[in-house]
Chains A and B, each alone.
Chain A
Amino acid sequence: MSEIRQALQVAALKNGTVIDHIPTNKLFTVVSLLGLEQMDSKITIGYNLNSNKLGKKGIIKIADKFFDDEEVNRISVVAPHVKLNIIRNYEVVEKKEVNMPDELKGIVKCANPKCITNNEPMPTLFKMVNKENGVFKCHYCEKELKKEDIVLLQRRTL
């Protein structure tokens, strides 16, 4: 009985995208990263839900919204192990994982205070230089940035 009640805590989607297995402490960052506050779609956000894998997890269900790879791969910067379920007509038609994108546009801050991007109103741009170790390089000042040191920009500029 309690199992059914737990499952019903999050409403079923007819069409849309479910982002699951978000580490609970990253949930709101992912919401912001995807710009969900600006969307008109019906969105259900679950926080601190029980998870076998993670202990606690977050989950986001967005009705009638389908993301392209570019939008979705941004999430890998903060939560590399999320799983996406694409729902059509109440059925999971596709499962997706996120991959480290080759480019990060406008979402990450450059750690170099002498970089032009920190001194001029312009978007940042990082290119992947080492996929294995998750190392990016600033397109402007050419300094390298490790995935662990990534700091997101407060406001997304695209």
Chain B
Amino acid sequence: MENRSLVTIAEHSKEKILYLLEMAKQFENNPNRKILDGKVVATLFFEPSTRTRLSFETAVNRLGGRVIGFSDASTTSSSKGETLKDTIMMVSNYADLIIMRHHLEGAARYASEVAPIPIINAGDGANQHPSQTMLDLYSIQKTQGTLENLNIFLVGDLKYGRTVHSLLMAMRHFNPTFHFIAPDELKMPEEYKIYCNENNIKYVEHTDFTEDIIADADILYMTRVQRERFTDLMEYERVKNVYILRNKMLEKTRPNLRILHPLPRVNEIAYDVDDNEKAYYFQQARNGLFARQAIICDVLGITLDDIKE
């Protein structure tokens, strides 16, 4: 059986990405279909994540499929010591597809190798979260009209931010110019800068976060600067208010600028930004539904032609 699982977006070709985005667009036009009628999808969340799980479950429900699963490994036989492989094999008897989130890196990759049904990675430790990247790409494409030649500003925790790393890698096909804005302790790791060099991705680094610096941005992708990530707490105290976006800072920005955030937002985007038309983070979350519908269908072998109305 050809493995249609989605473990990481890093190996997807440009054509594949654009194809999935096209499918997502079809679903935005009409997210309520019967294409998954008769299918059972298992959402196995060994590690809780309400937002991602609800998004995936809604995606299945609105396509006419049924959902089984669990949202926390402590209530399952994993707590009795059952191996991941055994759990996957057991659930494969019941479902047509498994969507899984696990705290260990590589769990989804391993599951995709042992399971007789497809696996969608909904997050494996600090490693990959491909559906988030898909919805980020969809949001960028939708608001900018294209993915090509954009100025994308990544702000906040660029060291541990799984979503920014994944977005960086997916955007390599589209000739972006990245601006990295982060405190020294959380700056973009060397391996990703090497990745940029190897893939001809232009980037500029900043430590300041001011309205002048962001004036040329097409996309402003905010992430949270977490206290727990700092080894030097005095450094944290120094920077904790620097990487906060306030409405005033948006005065000189381009009209097409959109502000993205993978959520949950704590204090890195001030509440006065929410009413600005450039704030896009809630619509971004909604796009997650369509992106995930596209992913689910593709993984089950349903094509763009099958779903075109």
Contact = CB atoms under 8 A, between A and B. Distances in A.
Of B105, B107, B125, B126, the most chain A CB neighbours within 10 A belong to: B105
Interface in B91-109: 102-107, 109
Of A112, A114, A116, A141, the most chain B CB neighbours within 10 A belong to: A116
Interface residues of B, number: 18
Contact of A119 (B8, B104, B126, B191): B104
A37 interface: no
Given A114-B105, A115-B105, A116-B104, A141 B125 contact: yes
Per CB-CB distance, the 10 closest pairs between chain A and chain B, nearest first, are A140-B106, A141-B105, A116-B106, A141-B106, A116-B104, A116-B107, A116-B110, A140-B109, A114-B125, A120-B84
Interface string A78-117: 0000000000000000000000000000000000101111
Interface of B: 8, 83-85, 102-107, 109-110, 124-128, 191
Contact of B110 (A112, A114, A120): A120
A65 interface: no
A70 interface: no
Of B103, B104, B107, B125, the most chain A CB neighbours within 10 A belong to: B104
* Interface size band for A: 10 to 19
Interface in A112-139: 112, 114-117, 119-122, 138-139
Nearest to B102: A116
B110 A122 contact: yes
Interface in A58-75: none
A20 interface: no
Nearest to B84: A120
Contacts of B8: 142
B85 A122 contact: yes
Contacts of B103: 114
Contacts of B110: 116-117, 120, 122, 140
A139 B109 contact: yes
Contacts of B85: 120-122
Contacts of A138: 106
B104 A115 contact: yes
